[in-house]
Amino acid sequence: MKPAFIQSKLFWGGVALSAVLLGGVALKHRNSTSTFPSTVVSPISSNVAQPTDPNQILAGVETMTHPSVLTATDKEMAKWFAKAKANSGDSVSWVNLGDTLMQKARETANPAYYDHAEQVYRNALNFNAQNSDAMVGLAWVNGERHVFDKSIEWANKALTVNSKNNFAYGLLGDAQVELGDYEGAFKSLQTMLDIRPDLSSYSRGAYLLSLTGDNRKARWLMDKAIKSGAPYAENTAWCRAQLGQILLSDGNLLVAEQELTKAIKLTPYNVQVLAAMAKVKTARKDYPGAIALYQKINAQTPQHNATVAIGDLYILLGDKANADKTYAEVIALHERNKGTAHDHMQLAQFYADHDQNPVEAVRLAEEHKTTQNVFEADILAWAYYQNGQYEEAQKAIMTATRCHTPDAKMIYHAGMIALKRNDRPNGRKLISQALSVNPDAYPLMAQKAAATLKELGETSGNEPPLANATQPNSALPSPEKPDPAKATR
């Protein structure tokens, strides 16, 4: 059962917002906060002893504070750096410095900021062991690193000290979303909304709504987040990026492009906005324009998703040589980040999507074999499919599709798995649905889906079983919207 966002603060004009969300990336500022899971590969802290001397910590921070162009975040960082240096015992200054480091990490997708932020937050606790905002900061760092058990632990510590810390509830919700505990996320985010309805809570709610299939309400709530505003233009821009992607998933390219154009004018180097606009350009078949945007992202910090997308775009342009070169860079990027927590699933997805190393794809994906996260379950299912393990793929795709997430690729995977299990009617239905969601969002997938439907359409109704097909079991769930009566209590 899913609780509904129906408290008075979210009840507008007689329209109640039901509790169904999407996922996220971390935004935080002292008066308005928001967190959502980042696609950036984030390093885990090493076991090497971290500096405890405030001067050493500040020296490390200073290595990250010399950009060629000063943003609002850089100016805030400089201010709190100076305050912490002038009064090293002021835990509030240290927390604010940590917050600006995390904000900068979010804007640049550079995970190097996380280590410095962790040191800063821990130093704040050295001066005030009851500083709940420092505890929240450590929850934030661990959440961005995808170490969700630690993130939950620190968020709960913060709530023990201050039960009204709205950002702690937001981080709990983020971790619960990533772990696939969506009911728990509903409760945490409802509490966050009750404490403080703002850009942070609205945008989290919108993401969860979209993830579980209600894009209409997600658009409405994300628009409220944008109108709420934020001290940092990048945070509002992030919301516009998410709104653009929701609109894109609905096939509304014109409005998506308009929203993202506004965001780019305000934050021309924001990686989330650039990635969202690249997807719009891909959908419009402006492949060179999309490549240029992804390259602009990688010029700041090389990104797995951006690099994969560039390779796929070269394939669409018929440039196999550059595609192969780019795909080799994907593997090299993974090799450089072997000490990270989350890139294994990304590499598993890359292998499965590109028909490479199926055994290795399964090995990597099975690191999250018990996952309840719908996107991780989809990667696991597709890795099994590519390795010919169709029964395992069926179980994983059931987990992936249980929330009716409106993701064309996920629905396509469900259809292909159904076909391999000799469930042709449901396979056709799901593949057709994938193409109806928004085929331009995944052009390579759309080509394969269209070819599969054409092949099926040329066969008779009494065709023999597909190669390697198993006997049919229960049909895969149709990704239609759940009964609203069952989505609330």
Q: Which listed CATH number (1.20.120.420, 2.80.10.50, 1.25.40.10, 3.90.700.10) goes with 342-486?
A: 1.25.40.10
Band of pLDDT at residue 15, cut at 50, 70 and 90? very low
Band of pLDDT at residue 475, cut at 50, 70 and 90? very low
Stronger pLDDT, 462 or 353, i.e. the higher one: 353
- Tens of pLDDT, residues 103-116: 888 877 788 899 99
Buried b (16+ CB within 10 A) or exposed e, 276-290: bbbbbbbbeeebeeb
Asked if the model's pLDDT at residue 484 lies above 70, the reply is no
Asked if the model's pLDDT at residue 137 lies above 50, the reply is yes
Measured CA to CA, the distance from residue 175 to residue 24 in angstroms comes to 10
The residue ranges of every structural domain in the chain are: 8-250+258-266, 342-486
The mean pLDDT of 274-301, rounded to a whole number, is 95
The mean pLDDT of 217-244, rounded to a whole number, is 88
Measured CA to CA, the distance from residue 348 to residue 471 in angstroms comes to 27
Phi and psi at residue 65, in whole multiples of 5°?
A: -120, 45
**Domains 8-250+258-266 and 342-486 fall in the same CATH topology:** yes
Number of DSSP helices (H) and strands (E) in the chain, helices first: 23, 4
Angle at 107 between CA 65 and CA 339, to 5 degrees: 85
DSSP string, 183-199: HHHHHHHHHHHHH--SH
Helix (H, G, I), strand (E, B) or coil at 11: strand
The torsion defined by the Cα of 89, 93, 98 and 103, in degrees rounded to 10, comes to: -170
* Domain 8-250+258-266 class, CATH top level: mainly alpha
Residue 27, H or E segment: strand 27-29
With a CB cutoff of 8 Å and minimum separation 6, the contacts of 137 are: 95, 98, 99, 102, 117, 120, 121, 124
Share of the chain above pLDDT 70, in %: 81
Measured CA to CA, the distance from residue 470 to residue 397 in angstroms comes to 16
Phi and psi at residue 95, in whole multiples of 5°?
A: -65, -45
Angle between helices 343-353 and 374-386 (to 10 degrees): 40
Structure tokens at 56: 């050493």
User: How many CB atoms lie under 10 A from the CB of residue 422?
Assistant: 17
The mean pLDDT of 340-367, rounded to a whole number, is 90
For residue 58, the model assigns a pLDDT of: 77
- Tens of pLDDT, residues 385-412: 999 999 999 999 999 999 999 899 999 9
Structure tokens at 485: 């009566």
The mean pLDDT of 14-37, rounded to a whole number, is 33
User: What is the reported pTM?
Assistant: 0.77
- Tens of pLDDT, residues 58-82: 777 777 766 666 778 888 888 998 9
Band of pLDDT at residue 419, cut at 50, 70 and 90? very high
User: How many CB atoms lie under 10 A from the CB of residue 471?
Assistant: 8
Contact present, 365 and 345 (Cβ < 8 Å): yes
For residue 50, the model assigns a pLDDT of: 66
For residue 9, the model assigns a pLDDT of: 33
Tell me the pLDDT of the chain averaged across its residues. Answer: 82
